[in-house]
A and B are shown apart, each in its own frame.
Chain A
């Protein structure tokens, strides 16, 4: 049914918020990214002609490294999150024991309630140079003070951040796969692990993909994890932007990085969603 003229009123509050708090601010950001910056001054020069210099500067191949690092670490962490989250989600969705299910749900929801900063601080305490778990990071063949160690810490922090969200998403995925299918496979003589890998996993692919995308989007735009755990060596693109804002007061360059991040983020999320939808028309994509 087509909307009646009066029904459009339903969109007014949301539309105003969207226009006023997303579209307009992003427009201003785009404008700032075209302003000229003079070293030693604060912010862009409003009275000078617009320039593309802030973008040109980012063409330096070294900046590609930051994007690559951000994407690489983000993809790796999202993959790890899927591997660790699936068993949790499977148990929570399928266990006949209510207490276990509640315990898992409680833990996962508690992680969301618990401030990310408090969790990162806890990781700093546990895996940091004075922590009892620094040996675990050293298992990866790195000493506690090298850059690789910082990278491991950032990955641990990101994983801690996205794991509960991915697990909660996957609970929904597993729950919406008919348990009779596994029962049927096992009744036909398949061992349980075959039933899970052969029946549940393939059916969960769209859900896994969309959970991966959620995790990936959260990782690559993350800012606090590298800020707190990156030891000044691991910098994500968002950290570069924040440095321009807070340390050198070069707002135009920060704005240019922001616009590039925005374009990439939208491109990845909507592009991959379109691909997933084509391959698995039933999948909802990233929503």
Chain B
């Protein structure tokens, strides 16, 4: 085994010795430790971690399990890159994911299949939300329906935006905030491509549009995660952006925001978020934990501050999510579900194209 174990053992020993001394001193007896499992969960920062901590506090008391959190940093692949060199010796048990990360993890065979038998709350969630592996097993615990949209701060934009073609106008010089193309698995390029008649498999028109925006100096900020997005939009140095509803939801709490989710000539993106359970020796506790989040009332509480839609039909939809809750007719007209499996295989090339074709224009 690695020498790391000895150090941990040593530290444990030292801690134990310390405790023994403390206990022996005043002659008190410590209450027996509740029989629980320690779980390491990777979650996004900002609103996600806040609401998760709120949900987990009573859960820890109830079950005796203890949850430690780590925050995602950067794009979808960041956590995957962190796990890969160490697999199967990774400290994580549950990972908050969205569609493209699920498909990457299923491809690497890291996820534990889930079933209604072990996680009764899953039976309420429609099957369409689940990610499946080649064998047809359910591989994800879907918690939210979320989306990525264009939007702007009403207080900073003088006349309303009706089409993202308008973003080329000089009034938006330096005012547009976009995610780094790897972030959101390249959805930025897809939305720009769709504006010009393309889609995820034909992104050339999207690159052309992006080049025009960059050449005019209208892109003022490139962000890489929710936190950067929220801060950029709060600071007010940029006024228009393309990002996910979780980010928009926080900005909306502070400033008047219009989300462009019903554009005549473009579409918003919908996808699912949820928990992936990594193969480990603690899958039982991990499933218990994820099952709790799938319960109708918890699912409702989880999604309201995120501004996302619950996957459990018994949960109420929050006000902020109502924005992009499309009726079935609207769904076809305004929403697009991208092929994330395809997209995540493209981001490597897109990142390089961004570096070689777009960044030089941004700097010019």
A and B pair up: yes
Which residues of A approach B to under 8 Å, CB–CB? 37, 39-43, 57, 60, 62-63, 65-66, 69, 128-130, 143-147, 151, 231-235, 240, 243-250
Q: Could you list 6 A-B pairs, sorted by A, with CB under 8 Å? A: A147-B217, A232-B221, A233-B363, A234-B363, A248-B182, A248-B347
A109 CA / B82 CA spacing, docked (Å): 35
Chain B residues with CB under 8 A of A231:
220-222
> By the criterion CB–CB under 8 Å, are B346 and A39 in contact?
yes
**Neighbour of B84 across the interface among A37, A65, A243, A249, CB < 8 A:** A249
Chain B residues with CB under 8 A of A62:
355-357, 359-360
**Neighbour of A65 across the interface among B173, B349, B360, CB < 8 A:** B360
Chain A residues with CB under 8 A of B80:
42, 249
- Min C-beta distance of B360 to chain A, whole Å: 5
A151 CA / B364 CA spacing, docked (Å): 12
Chain B residues with CB under 8 A of A235:
355, 359
**Neighbour of A248 across the interface among B77, B221, B235, CB < 8 A:** B77
Interface string of B79-100 (1 = CB under 8 A from A): 0111011000000000000000
Q: A42-B80, A247-B183 known; 11 other A-B pairs, CB under 8 Å?
A: A39-B346, A39-B347, A43-B84, A62-B357, A65-B360, A129-B235, A143-B174, A144-B237, A235-B355, A247-B74, A247-B77
> By the criterion CB–CB under 8 Å, are B355 and A232 in contact?
no
Q: Which residue of A lies closest to B179 (CB)?
A: A232
Given A62-B360, A232-B221, A247-B75, answer yes or no on A146-B174 (Cβ-Cβ < 8 Å): yes
Chain A residues with CB under 8 A of B344:
40
A248 CA / B78 CA spacing, docked (Å): 7
Q: Within residues 312 to 364 of chain B, which ones have a CB less than 8 A from any CB in chain A?
A: 344-349, 351-352, 355-357, 359-360, 362-363
Chain B residues with CB under 8 A of A40:
104, 107, 344-346, 348
Q: Which residue of B lies closest to A232 (CB)?
A: B222
Q: Which residue of A lies closest to B104 (CB)?
A: A40
**Neighbour of A69 across the interface among B236, B356, B363, CB < 8 A:** B363
**Neighbour of B362 across the interface among A128, A147, A240, CB < 8 A:** A147
> By the criterion CB–CB under 8 Å, are A145 and B221 in contact?
yes
A90 CA / B62 CA spacing, docked (Å): 67
A249 CA / B79 CA spacing, docked (Å): 9
Interface string of B170-195 (1 = CB under 8 A from A): 00011100001011000000000000
Shortest Cβ-Cβ A-B pairs, 5 listed = A232-B222, A40-B345, A62-B356, A129-B237, A145-B174
Chain B residues with CB under 8 A of A63:
355-356
Chain A residues with CB under 8 A of B238:
145
Interface residue count for B (Cβ, 8 Å)? 45
**Neighbour of A247 across the interface among B85, B180, B349, B359, CB < 8 A:** B180
A57 CA / B362 CA spacing, docked (Å): 21
Consensus secondary structure, chain A interface = loop
Chain B residues with CB under 8 A of A130:
235-236
Q: Which residue of A lies closest to B344 (CB)?
A: A40
> By the criterion CB–CB under 8 Å, are B78 and A247 in contact?
yes
Q: Which residue of A lies closest to B174 (CB)?
A: A145
A240 CA / B235 CA spacing, docked (Å): 27
Q: Which residue of A lies closest to B183 (CB)?
A: A247
Chain B residues with CB under 8 A of A245:
81
A245 CA / B79 CA spacing, docked (Å): 11
Q: Which residue of B lies closest to A243 (CB)?
A: B351
**Neighbour of A129 across the interface among B173, B222, B236, CB < 8 A:** B236
Given A40-B348, A232-B221, A248-B347, answer yes or no on A128-B235 (Cβ-Cβ < 8 Å): yes
Q: Does B223 contact A (CB under 8 A)?
A: yes
- Min C-beta distance of A254 to chain B, whole Å: 10
Chain B residues with CB under 8 A of A146:
173-174, 217, 220
Question: Interface centre among A37, A234, A250, by most B CB within 10 Å?
Answer: A250
Chain A residues with CB under 8 A of B174:
143, 145-146
> By the criterion CB–CB under 8 Å, are A43 and B85 in contact?
yes
A284 CA / B83 CA spacing, docked (Å): 45
Chain A residues with CB under 8 A of B115:
none
- Min C-beta distance of B223 to chain A, whole Å: 6
- Min C-beta distance of A55 to chain B, whole Å: 14
> By the criterion CB–CB under 8 Å, are B81 and A57 in contact?
no
Question: Interface centre among B78, B183, B355, by most A CB within 10 Å?
Answer: B355
Q: Which residue of B lies closest to A40 (CB)?
A: B345
Q: Which residue of A lies closest to B234 (CB)?
A: A130
Q: Does B283 contact A (CB under 8 A)?
A: no
> By the criterion CB–CB under 8 Å, are A249 and B235 in contact?
no
Given A39-B345, A57-B352, answer yes or no on A233-B362 (Cβ-Cβ < 8 Å): yes
**Neighbour of A42 across the interface among B84, B223, B349, CB < 8 A:** B84
Chain A residues with CB under 8 A of B237:
129, 144-145
Q: Which residue of B lies closest to A129 (CB)?
A: B237
Q: Which residue of B lies closest to A69 (CB)?
A: B363
> By the criterion CB–CB under 8 Å, are B363 and A147 in contact?
yes
> By the criterion CB–CB under 8 Å, are A232 and B223 in contact?
yes
- Min C-beta distance of A242 to chain B, whole Å: 9
> By the criterion CB–CB under 8 Å, are B362 and A246 in contact?
no
A240 CA / B351 CA spacing, docked (Å): 10
- Min C-beta distance of A236 to chain B, whole Å: 12
Q: Does B37 contact A (CB under 8 A)?
A: no
Q: Which residue of A lies closest to B356 (CB)?
A: A62
Question: Interface centre among A39, A232, A246, by most B CB within 10 Å?
Answer: A232
Q: Does B162 contact A (CB under 8 A)?
A: no
- Min C-beta distance of B9 to chain A, whole Å: 24
> By the criterion CB–CB under 8 Å, are B84 and A240 in contact?
no
Q: Which residue of B lies closest to A227 (CB)?
A: B224
Q: Does B50 contact A (CB under 8 A)?
A: no
> By the criterion CB–CB under 8 Å, are B217 and A247 in contact?
no
> By the criterion CB–CB under 8 Å, are B351 and A248 in contact?
yes
